[in-house]
Amino acid sequence: MTETIRIALFTLVGISAVFSVIKEFQKPEKRKFWITFEALILLGAAWMLIGLLM
């Protein structure tokens, strides 16, 4: 049960990071720090999901 909650949480965080990066790229003035930060969150969520599923 706990593992299912963690998988759902990391999936939602990853989806949120993807949409945040897409939204930031659509702005005329892009903030490099925010894009980098969200990309790192996305990579971390993916890393955790891979670790949980393997």
Quote helix, strand, coil % in the chain, to nearest 5: 85, 0, 15
pLDDT at 53: 84
User: Which positions of the chain have pLDDT values less than 70?
Assistant: none
- Number of structural domains in the chain: 1
Give the residue numbers spanning the domain of 46: 2-53
pLDDT at 26: 92
pTM of whole model > 0.85? no
Tell me how far apart the alpha carbons of residues 3 and 5 are, in angstroms, rounded to a whole number.
Answer: 5
Tell me how far apart the alpha carbons of residues 11 and 45 are, in angstroms, rounded to a whole number.
Answer: 7
